[in-house]
Structure 1
Amino acid sequence: MNSIRGRLLLYLVPALLVIYSLTAWRVLTVTAHEAEEVFDAELAHFARIVLNLTHHELQEEQKKTDIDNSQSVLPAITGHLFQGVLKPNAPGGTDNSAPGHPYELKLVFQIWTTSNQEVFRSDGAPTKRLSENNSGFTNNSIGQRGWRVFSISDDALGITIQVGEDNAVREELVAQIISNMFSPLLLGLGLIVGLVWILVGWGLTPTRKLTTVVTQRDRDHLEPIKTSDTPSELLPLVQSLNALLSRLKRALDNERRFTSDAAHEIRTPLAGLKLQARVALGAADDTTRRTALRSIDQAVDRTMRLVEQLLTMARYDSGLPRTTIQQVDLNNVAADVIAQIEPSARSRNIELTLLRDAKASAPGDLGMLQVMLRNLVDNAVRYNHANGSVEIRLRQKGREVILEVSDTGPGIAEQHRTAVFDRFRRLAHQDGNGTGLGLSITARIVELHGGRISVTERPGGGAQFTVTLPRD
């Protein structure tokens, strides 16, 4: 389920059902227990009333007739006393024609002698003794009916009063309680679910607003989302979105600037090509024509180099390919780069020196690291003085590898040392053959490998580029 509202209901409704069930079970058990207590109290109270009435009536009869054997007159006394009390419309009894309660005939009593002789039983009472106990509460089954019985004895009279209540009374009461309790509970549960649905929808309003705000964003509207009214639960998401928008805006700005600069950089050699082509076409002699064609050839080389570096920059802007990462021995990389650039250095009598370190290795992309070092060494040779020197030094420091490329050239003024890594940036002393992208590409490669690059003045004059890469 992808709906937050649906998920919340999926979690809340079962939880509510469990809580409701536990609450209902607790209420039911407590109510049933209290009802049992009330019914038992009524049984005991009724039994004592019957006993007291019997005792009082027997005393009155003894005063009149001076009877010694009380049990001999008990049947007559109790029959006269209780006739019609629990027998509706019995002759000589009280007028019970008024509507009663259906539970009346489910409450019965019996009077037994200590010799287990029946003295009296009310209408509806079973012929069998309700309980074998002579005192206290018992549960008993007679036939298909269950009875809750309270027994009380009078040793002076030699009788036991047993009052019984059909269990159906209590079962019907519990069923009625369940019916009266669960109907409102189920109705309340439905209302709560509906209310939760509405409240969850209302609580998700900030999410819908955020969706609307994000939907309205495009490449021309990447300003950060306001966080002043953002709920704390959504604040991390909004902050992450703002960071993403900031990176996207920066990337688009870089793309626009790169496209503009690239168009300008390509337009310049193309204009030169067109001019030299016209010169060659209009040349009156072979010398002029050859000079123009030579210029065209050089311009084509510069343009090809520019396009190649533009493609390299665009490729590296997409990030570091994780599938090509390996542990790279920078000693071997430096040796390969020196072998590639040595002919150019020899033509100007520039000495190339490599100071190795056996532990100088770092994880990364071999091709990228070769491009990085080649750009640094190529720049050091290209802008160096004739008969100068270039030193490549590798060393390990803690968990980092440090690569230093220093030359004996004119160096880089302090105010230009940060800008030198900008795209299409050329310094005043540099010739026009460069593209202004080499150091930008180098800085990007270092960044992709989690490293740092800086430029300082070499002791004794010249420039020194320092690259620091993590070893793991």
Structure 2
Amino acid sequence: MNSMRIRLFTILLATTSAVWLFAAVWIYASTQAEVERVLDARLMEAARMVSSLISDHRVDAAAAVGVATDKPLPAPFEKASGNYSRQLSCQIWSLEGSLVSRSESAPETSLADHTSGFKETEIDGQRWRVYAVVNPALGVRVLVGDSLEIRERLIGDVMKGLLLPGIIILPVLALLIWLSVGRGLAPLTRIAVGLSGRSATELHPIDDRAAPGEIRPVLHALNSLFGRVAEARERERSFTAYAAHELKTPLAGLKTQAQIALRTDDPKVQRDALSRISTSVDRTSRMVRQLIDLAAVDSAVSAPVDDAVDLHSLLSEIASDLEPLLTAGEVRVARAWGEHDPTAVMVKADRTLVQLALRNVMENAIQHSPRGSEVSCKVFRSGDDAVVVITDQGHGISAAEEARVTERFFRGAHPAGHGSGLGLSIVRMALDRLGGDMAFEKTAEGFVVRMRFPHDRPVPDAGPGRQAAAGENL
């Protein structure tokens, strides 16, 4: 059942029918009990009234006893008909067991054989509810009986009067429920029609001022989604434009230097052109790798991580991978731990994201370091978190640039010769996904980048809005 309208209609109709059925059962039970109580009280009152009339000599029971064999008794007993007349039947019996008198609707057979109180009996297939009272002064026993069949028919007629209108009204009620559910879901239909008429570029928010309170959370979620999609589209446009521009420059340089090398016979000019081509290729290669890294961070999903990452070991691996860059810049890496450090600092996190963050910071530090200088790496535990500190001897980042340094393609006032402006943006995004953070500081030892990694924290879901914030705030 995929239709919300059908589901609501079925639930409301079933609930209404169940309530109605429960009410009918309750009314039947209460009506039956109340009718029996009232009719029993009537039986008792009728029997006592007849006994009182006899005692007051309004009915000459003694004479009736004496002439009982001489006078004809009332007409033969007839079973109760469809109406409620003659419902009560009365008999007067002498204590010796002879019938003194009876009502027209009473049978000739004794209604009951008990002396007092209530009793149910059956005579000629008809069930009776009988109340007996003894008049010792006159020596008679008064029996007043009520047909149980008439009682049951009375209760049945009451229930028919309740159920028949309900059965007739039920189709009308179902139609009203169907129309009411449709009217209640009309705002959803209007929203669906409005959304279906939008083009892919229409990402403006839905006006929710006139929407019902139950739908507003859905509209808020949709508007938030539209905002994130719009941000993602804008970042994609900017990213494509910047990437095209940044790749166009080294490619143009490659073509120019290649043309110079082809047109000259001077070995010195050719070597210089080939050197520039090599530098341009390195720059382009690094930019392509960082673009791939950026896409990897963007597409990282939130998932439980079971692998423990040894930060000492990972930094050593990164330093080994960057050995060509270290050699070219005549820079060395100083590590504050031994080859087999027994106090290794472990974090439970996505190894790829941790590696991307550490590699890009260390690569930036090496590129911005003067020749013959040193890049130092320290790892230590701070509470439940792990902290990695990388220090270089370069110019660092000014206070004015800190607010923009993690923006994509931002290079700052002292860019490296082949920097792309993507490194710190990748670091910020990776740390955001890991739940960590990054800080910069200028000290007497040099420019410090401090990264904090939570020991064991699920990777947060970084939607487009969060990724945008990573590129705008430090």
Cα–Cα, structure 1 residues 74 and 55, in superposed 2: closer, same or farther, change >3 Å?
farther
- Counterpart contact for 1:406–1:458, Cα < 8 Å: no
CA distance in 1, matches of 2:284, 2:67: 134
1:151-166 superposed matches below 5 A: 151-166=132-147
Q: What amino acid maps onto 2:321 in structure 1? A: Q
- Counterpart contact for 2:77–2:108, Cα < 8 Å: no
Q: Which residue among 350, 364, 374 is the counterpart of 1:389? A: 374
Q: What amino acid maps onto 2:319 in structure 1? A: I
CA distance in 2, matches of 1:450, 1:317: 15
Cα–Cα, structure 1 residues 344 and 305, in superposed 2: closer, same or farther, change >3 Å?
closer
Of structures 1 and 2, the one with the larger relative CO (CA 8 A, separation 6+) is 2
Cα–Cα, structure 1 residues 348 and 101, in superposed 2: closer, same or farther, change >3 Å?
closer
- Counterpart contact for 1:135–1:151, Cα < 8 Å: yes
Q: Which residue of 2 aligns with 1:125?
A: 106
Q: What amino acid maps onto 1:28 in structure 2? A: Y
CA distance in 2, matches of 1:407, 1:292: 31
CA distance in 2, matches of 1:218, 1:398: 51
1:440-451 superposed matches below 5 A: 440-451=425-436
Does structure 1 residue 242 correspond to structure 2 residue 223?
yes
Q: CA RMSD for the aligned pairs? A: 3.3
Does structure 1 residue 255 correspond to structure 2 residue 230?
no
Q: Which residue of 1 aligns with 2:388?
A: 403
Provide Cα deviations, 1:65-115, integer angstroms capped at 9, x if missing partner: xxxx746535279x58x857x999xxxxxxxxxxx9855465433221111
- Counterpart contact for 1:443–1:453, Cα < 8 Å: yes
CA distance in 2, matches of 1:138, 1:46: 15
Q: Which residue of 2 aligns with 1:20?
A: 20
Q: What amino acid maps onto 2:254 in structure 1? A: L
TM-aligned CA deviation for residue 44 of structure 1? 4.5
- Counterpart contact for 2:441–2:449, Cα < 8 Å: yes
CA distance in 1, matches of 2:234, 2:306: 29
Q: Which runs of 5+ in 2 are unaligned?
A: 457-474
Q: What amino acid maps onto 1:313 in structure 2? A: L
- Counterpart contact for 2:305–2:348, Cα < 8 Å: no
Q: Which residue of 1 aligns with 2:183?
A: 202
TM-aligned CA deviation for residue 381 of structure 1? 2.0
Provide Cα deviations, 1:174-193, integer angstroms capped at 9, x if missing partner: 22122222112333444444
CA distance in 2, matches of 1:72, 1:383: 136
Deviates more, 1:12-21 or 1:251-260: 12-21
Cα–Cα, structure 1 residues 445 and 108, in superposed 2: closer, same or farther, change >3 Å?
closer
Cα–Cα, structure 1 residues 101 and 222, in superposed 2: closer, same or farther, change >3 Å?
closer
TM-score of the superposition, structure 2-length normalised?
0.83
The alignment partner of 1:229 has SS state of coil
% identical equivalent positions: 31
CA distance in 2, matches of 1:449, 1:154: 100
TM-aligned CA deviation for residue 225 of structure 1? 3.1
Q: Which residue of 1 aligns with 2:463?
A: none
TM-score of the superposition, structure 1-length normalised?
0.83
- Counterpart contact for 2:311–2:344, Cα < 8 Å: no
CA distance in 1, matches of 2:417, 2:332: 24
Q: Which runs of 5+ in 1 are unaligned?
A: 62-68, 89-99
Q: Which residue of 2 aligns with 1:454?
A: 439
Cα–Cα, structure 1 residues 271 and 132, in superposed 2: closer, same or farther, change >3 Å?
same
- Counterpart contact for 1:354–1:392, Cα < 8 Å: yes
Provide Cα deviations, 1:437-459, integer angstroms capped at 9, x if missing partner: 22222222222222111222133
Q: Which residue among 452, 464, 471 is the counterpart of 1:468? A: 452
Structure with larger Rg = 1
CA distance in 2, matches of 1:49, 1:369: 102
Q: Count matched residues.
A: 450
CA distance in 2, matches of 1:335, 1:59: 125
CA distance in 2, matches of 1:399, 1:434: 35
Q: What amino acid maps onto 1:333 in structure 2? A: L
CA distance in 1, matches of 2:136, 2:316: 122
1:58-457 superposed matches below 5 A: 70=63, 73-75=66-68, 79=71, 102-104=83-85, 107-123=88-104, 125-216=106-197, 219-283=200-264, 287-320=268-301, 322=303, 326-342=307-323, 344-346=325-327, 348-356=329-337, 358-457=343-442
Deviates more, 1:438-447 or 1:412-421: 438-447
- Counterpart contact for 2:439–2:449, Cα < 8 Å: yes
Q: What amino acid maps onto 1:4 in structure 2? A: M
TM-aligned CA deviation for residue 131 of structure 1? 1.2
Q: What amino acid maps onto 1:21 in structure 2? A: L
The alignment partner of 1:260 has SS state of helix
CA distance in 2, matches of 1:397, 1:302: 37
Q: What amino acid maps onto 2:39 in structure 1? A: F
TM-aligned CA deviation for residue 122 of structure 1? 4.2
CA distance in 1, matches of 2:65, 2:334: 139
CA distance in 2, matches of 1:162, 1:181: 35
Q: What amino acid maps onto 2:252 in structure 1? A: A
TM-aligned CA deviation for residue 359 of structure 1? 4.7
Provide Cα deviations, 1:17-39, integer angstroms capped at 9, x if missing partner: 33223321222233233333443
- Counterpart contact for 1:453–1:468, Cα < 8 Å: yes
